[in-house]
Structures are given as structure tokens and as C-alpha cells.
Chains A and B, each alone.
Chain A
């Protein structure tokens, strides 16, 4: 599943960076993740609810941040297992200032699916990817508005 997208948000780079480095905000904006528990430096245990086509399930897995470049971006690794299959995603998130109060947030990566997820979800996968992308930016926008 290819995951790409970019969107210009009304907030300075430093503010968005701060939010993306905060576990609670991250839990709020990463689609489907309901909770993040810190387990180490930039490592978290993630609880997620995912619905792809006919299958839905609760995932638990690991989320980690790597290749961290302050105010520029990082790579988000998500590795989750569940009864409906496993997902392994790697997404590079990058920030680019447009103006002092505007930042372009973009990401590029892919998720490998296995098990029931792979077997029954493929028809709807691009639709799901689009939805997840939209959700990510909507969530981020909302988080910015909630923390002026």
C-alpha cells in the first residue's frame, strides 16, 4: 500500500515539529492509532483500530521514530500484528517552510500487509490509503487549531 501526500498547514515549522515529536499529539494525528505508550527513546507501543474493506481489527505493535532531523522530518516505522494479519509500514515525513506561518507537510512511504488483511483488502486499498492520508492532515489541522 503506497502512502504519499502533502498538504500546506497554517502553522510555523517549529510548532508542527513540536507536535510531531509529542507522543500524545502523535497518537491523535496518526490515523487509527488510539494510544501510544512510551517504551524507550522515540519508541512506543501503539494500540490501533483498523478497518480495511470487510476486515477490521485491533492492532497492537511498535511505533518508532528514526532518522530524526529537527524541524525537517523523520521516518516513522510502524510494525503491528493482529489476528487479521500484520502490517509493516515505513513512512518518511518531511516539513518544509512556505512562509513564517505556513508549512508544507509531506510524507512518502509504503505499508506491507500480510495475512487476512492482504487477502481481502486489496480491492479497497487505494481508497483506504486516500482516506488515511486525508485523516492524517485533518487530524493535524485540528490539533493545530486546538493548540493555538
Chain B
């Protein structure tokens, strides 16, 4: 492989269309005869539909149909894709998530739809929604997961009076962990909330269902992270349509952060409605609906205890957490607080005993599911807050306390992977140097001096460290299958060499901003030794791409890229047979490089394009070999990948106002081999902004009736450029030993490491000023920080 493109910051090929406003998103697609949908939604978090009258709406000019819950009663609800049973063996409770709430049934969160208007224009549909008369019986509602467990709490589903979806325990036997904590020389205890956040993709969700009456085929255009998965879920579980009659297209997608993985009710409904009406039906979410309906992230209430011996070595970790599932179980929801969270509680430390006790509860809120990092940010927040607080409590240096507890380096090749107490086996890791590098970039010793001086002034200084690890490259099918996944999480790829030697690459990964059209092409062009412009990436269409599991969990390059590598190997293997025949030599005498097969030690060679043409015009051709040069592959990873790194935040806290100013943000990440450093840096930047947003600015607020009270950009604070310093980033490279590119994934790292670093920095600043606070509820608004000091 020539490394002409791999490792280069090639400018993103897709940016030309994005930056010139020529991206083609679902809402940009307009089909002849297309109708528009608008949903009538519950204004209450919990209310029974006593009656619904659509007469007036139906009479309005331009209204084509109004469907209510009674019309779709016979259809299945949208399914959950992961099953985690109660610890006592009871099956996970999986209430039906209907497309529309029927008369007599109850809406279970604000926004739960009761009817859909289909009209000739979007504005007619919106106006007609006001003419639908719904008689509601308002019922008591609950938004807090901890309160939902209290006796007498309002019930979300009558059949589950304790509001539990399931409970779960993981790690070492709890008695062993109890013993470790009880015999510890020091125990750091932290009770905290990992607050609920809204994903806020720039492009709102949008769908077009199109049933073609001539071919009896459906097409769904959808703003999704995984078109094939949506097809599988919608066809097999909701609408009962055979898959070969359905094409799912995910055109350009403007961000997802997890929220566009899941199969939503609106998606199935526009598809179904199109069949009923024989015309395409489009629905595009508005921003208010996005706040209400897109699956939210995080929402854990935790008590965590970390025990240390007299020398500061971690001896045990005990955790009790309540996780909010929302009103229904979304596609991946049960996996997030369990197998994507509990399994990461080893962190980068040698903690010998770990146990987590998790209770997942229903509340009258929209579903919670994976949001950038999904479970791993919650695990990292827990560990990194604990260890920093322990250092403050024990009067130790937080960096030294980490160095002392780090897992020693292992490459996963000559040394085995590291077996954790929580099931996973880390592939390769070298944790010491990323922290060293971070401290060097910070100028740690000088900082501590400056902090002492600042303590006398009006502006306190603080530093927060976070040394994270994540499990990416999701996921080895056999492993996740054993853990409850109802799908395999491999990836497929097809490399089709055209007769002239140009290459079409079909991948089941689906970019929603990650730059696959550049990175994947860099890989293919290098491996084949051909120019990048000779390679085209095709993705996001179930009719052209054979199969796919999509993009999430930092998996595209590690899993999707590996599938492409397998197909490239097959192309080169067959190409060598053709080349050997043409050059009249043995295959073993050939070597491939710079786009041609050369007979070793000679100047006799044949180019990639000539071999491709021969494969399609096989007049002089090896006997018994099939024509064509086109290979599909499926790649199922052997293990997760385990990127890691060190994030360091420096903050200034105004003593008088409590305002936190983030002065520096340092990120040293080890994401394995890097194909395009610029794209990786961009992913890290975006992740950092989101992680910092959670620490300082973002978070939902529900009132006592479970109404979301900050569902707009005037009320929900997103990070803006002036909230952020210039990021200081660096990389270390510890290749992944078990995939052909040695890559680990970079999409989530920024959001995983940064949040605890920022909060730790604020706590450190407060301690330097004599305020020995353990925790401040995120987001760290000036008021909360001020109250912590006063």
C-alpha cells in the first residue's frame, strides 16, 4: 500500500456541495403529487384522549385525510432493538409505542401524537391541526427518574405500577465490592446527576413516504444514520411489508449525534399513509418538535463510591444508578445505561473490584437513547469526577493519583489485551504518555503556582483532568448478541471495479457529517494505488448498497472501513490471476504497487485499468475464471476498539458572580491510526464543544407537570463560539491490533472526555479558594457556582 493519501489532511470532497448550499437533504426532495403531514400532539405529559373530532379539519379545503389513533390501532408499535432482562430473570418490560394514541388511551409525554393531518401544503396541514378537537383528561405526570420510583408516583404504564423497565447488576459480586469499600483506608462518595440533554442536530428529522401504485413498491426518504436498519425495523416489526418491496434512501444528513439512529413513529406513519392515499407524503420536524420528539440523551441519577488503600491505590468501586428511559423504550435505549456504560467502569485504572446496580425507569418524558458517546460519557464522568475529588479529599495530586492507578501499557500483539472486571478485554492501550503529554502542553507546575496566586484575587483558577477510555467500533455480533442485541452489528461493503478501472465503493456506513466520501476514498485510492478521483463512494440507499448497519458508536472506519478492505483484498487477488495470465507468469511472481502488477525483478507490468478491462472483455483470460471484478464482503469485528486519551480544562471562576470562563481546553487523543488528521481534529472539536456544552450550558428543565420548559433556542443554551477557547489538540497512536486499518474511531471521544474535565476544573478552582464542595449540578451556571461558594 502506498501511503500517498492515508495520513494526509485531504480537504473534504463533500464540502463543495455543502458550502455552496447544494447539499441534498430529505426536505429538499419534492416529488410530483406530494402531500404534507402535520401531527396533532399532546400538550400534556400524561392525558387520556376522551374523544377526538376531526370533522372540521377534514372539511377544510386542501385537507386530504386525517388519521387518528383509531385508524392505526391494528398496526404494531415501533420496536426496541435490545433486550435487557431484570436481574431476577423477569423479561424486560416493553410497552407498545403506538404511532398515534387511540381514543381511550393515554398520551405519555408532551408531544405524543394523536392524529396526523395530510394536506396539499404544509401550511394547510398546520392550520387544519388546530381544527382537530381533542378532549383531554389530564392525569398526573412525573419527569424525574428518582421520583418515578417512589411509592405513589404517577404510573406511566398502568401494567407496570413500579415504573421499572428493568433492573440490572454487573461486575464483581456485590459482597466482594462491599468488602473492598468497607476495608478501604479512604472512600470518596459522590452523589450526582448526569443531566438530560437534547441532541440538536442541525437538520431536523424529515421523512417522505412514497408508495408507487404501479410497481407496488415503497420508497422512504429519511434523515437517518442507518437506512438498512430502518428498513428492517419498519418492514419486519411495524408495517409487515416484505423488505424487497421497500427502498430506504438516506440522502445528505445534517448531523445526528445518535438521535437519527432510531426508528421513529413518524417515519413508519408517512410510509403507511402514502399507501393509503396513493401519493407521496412528506413530514419535516420543526425545531419545537425536535426538542419534544427527538430521543434525548443521558439522564442518570447516581451514587458512586470509590475506595482507596493508604497508598492511594483504588481498591473498589460501587455504583447505584437510576436511568431514565422516558415513556417508551427507543431502539437502543436499554443498551445505553447497561452494556455501553457498565462495561466501561474499569476506565483506565486497575480497580480490582467493581459493581454497578442499575435501575431503568419509565417517566412521562420523550424516550432517552444514545447521544454522542452513549453510556461511555456517563461512565467517564463518574470515574473522572470520583478520582479528581478523591485527590482533593486525600490531599494528593490528581495527575499522580492517576499515574499510580493506570493499567500498564499493552499492545495487544506481543502482549495480551487487558481483561477488565466488567467483561471487556481492551485491545491495546498506553495511558501514561497521553496524560504526560497533556500536562506538558498545560505547563502543569507553572499552572499550580499561578493558581496559588489567583486564589488571593477575585478570579479563582482551576484545572480539571479527565483520562477517558471508550469502547468503539460497535460491535462484535456474537458479543452483543449474548448481551441482548437483537441485531448483528457487522458491516458490509462492495468494491465494484468498472471496466475502465474506475471504482465504485458501496458501504453500509452512512455519513451524517463525518466525511466518509473523503476518508473512505483515501483508503481505497491508496490501497489500489490509483488517483482519488477514480474512486466514488456510494452510500445511504438500500437499493444500491447491499446491506448495512449504519453509523454510530464511532464504528464507520473501524467496521465499515474494514469491510471495504476485505473487498479490496478480493479484487487484488482476482486481479493478480488475470495479470499473471496476461504477463504469462505465476501469480507468486507478481507484486502490486502504484496501480500495477509487476513481475518481481523485471520491468514487465500491467496496469490496474488494463486488468479491469480484461475482466470485463475476457478474450484472453484464465481458464475457469469468472469475468468481472466486483466483490462484496461482510466484516464482523473480533472485538470493540478502545480509543483513549486525556482532556484537560483550565477555568477561571469569578468569585463575585460565579461565572465560569473556560480558558484552555487541551485534548490528547489516541484513536489508533489516522487516515485524515484534519477530519479527526474536526470530530474532536465538535465533540469537545458538545461535552463542554453539557458541563456549562445545556440541560432540560421539566416543571412539576413534566412539561419541558426550555424547548427553544431562546431557553435551551447551546454552546457558541464565544463560549469556547481555541482548542489545543494532539494525538498519540496506538494501533488497533484486530482490524486491518489499525483504526479505533474518533467520533465520540471529544464528548466523552471533556465534560468531567470542565466540572473537575471548576471544583478545583473552588477548593483553591477554600470552598470544599463535592459537586455542583450540571450545567454549571453562574448561579449554581455562586451558591456553591456562598
Contact = CB atoms under 8 A, between A and B. Distances in A.
Interface in B702-723: 703, 705, 707-712, 714-715
A120 B291 CA distance: 11
B288 A116 contact: yes
Given A118-B708, A119-B709, A119-B710, A85 B43 contact: yes
B708 A119 contact: yes
Nearest to A118: B707
B316 to A, nearest CB: 43
A115 B709 contact: no
Nearest to B127: A83
A27 to B, nearest CB: 24
B44 interface: yes
Contacts of B703: 118, 122
Contacts of B43: 85-86, 114-115
B56 to A, nearest CB: 14
Given A54-B714, A83-B130, A119 B44 contact: no
B705 A112 contact: yes
B705 A123 contact: no
Nearest to B713: A120
A53 interface: yes
Nearest to A81: B43
A83 B705 CA distance: 19
B715 A123 contact: yes
A123 B709 CA distance: 9
B49 interface: no
Contact of B707 (A54, A114, A123): A114
Contacts of A85: 43
Contacts of A21: none
A50 B714 CA distance: 19
Interface residues of B, number: 20
B714 A119 contact: no
Question: Would you call the interface of chain B mostly helix, strand, loop, or mixed?
Answer: loop
Interface string A105-129: 0000000111110111011000000
B558 interface: no
Contact of A113 (B129, B130, B701, B707): B707
A123 B714 contact: yes
B127 to A, nearest CB: 9
B94 to A, nearest CB: 28
B294 to A, nearest CB: 14
Interface in B378-399: none
A114 B701 contact: no
B643 to A, nearest CB: 37
Contact of B711 (A53, A113, A119): A119
A94 B110 CA distance: 35
B110 A122 contact: no
Contacts of B715: 119-120, 122-123
Contacts of B709: 118-119, 122
Contacts of A54: 712, 714
A120 B714 contact: yes
Contacts of A86: 43-44
Interface range for A: 10 to 19
Contacts of B292: 119
Greatest chain B CB density within 10 A among A53, A54, A122 is at: A122
A87 to B, nearest CB: 10
Nearest to B705: A112
Nearest to A1: B703
Interface in B88-126: 110
Contacts of B138: 88
Contacts of B110: 114-115, 118-119
A112, A120, A122 — which one has the most chain B CB atoms within 10 A of its CB?
Answer: A120
Nearest to A114: B43
A122 B705 contact: no
B44 A114 contact: yes
A30 B725 CA distance: 50
B338 to A, nearest CB: 31
A120 B110 CA distance: 14
Contacts of A113: 707
Nearest to A55: B712
A122 B708 CA distance: 10
A89 to B, nearest CB: 14
Given A85-B43, A86-B43, A114-B43, A119 B701 contact: no
Contacts of B712: 54, 119-120
Residue among B110, B130, B291 with the highest chain A CB neighbour number at 10 A? B110
Contacts of B130: 83
Contacts of A112: 705
Interface in A92-148: 112-116, 118-120, 122-123
A119 B291 contact: yes
Contacts of A53: 714
A76 B216 CA distance: 59
Interface centre among A54, A88, A115, A119 (most CB of B within 10 A): A119
Contacts of B701: 122
Contact of A122 (B129, B288, B710): B710
A76 B288 CA distance: 32
A122 B700 CA distance: 12
A56 B505 CA distance: 52
State the 3 A-B residue pairs at the shortest beta-carbon distance, nearest first.
A115-B43, A119-B711, A118-B707
Interface of A: 53-54, 83, 85-86, 88, 112-116, 118-120, 122-123
Given A118-B110, A118-B705, 12 more contacts: A86-B43, A112-B705, A113-B707, A114-B707, A115-B110, A118-B703, A118-B707, A119-B707, A119-B711, A120-B712, A122-B709, A122-B715
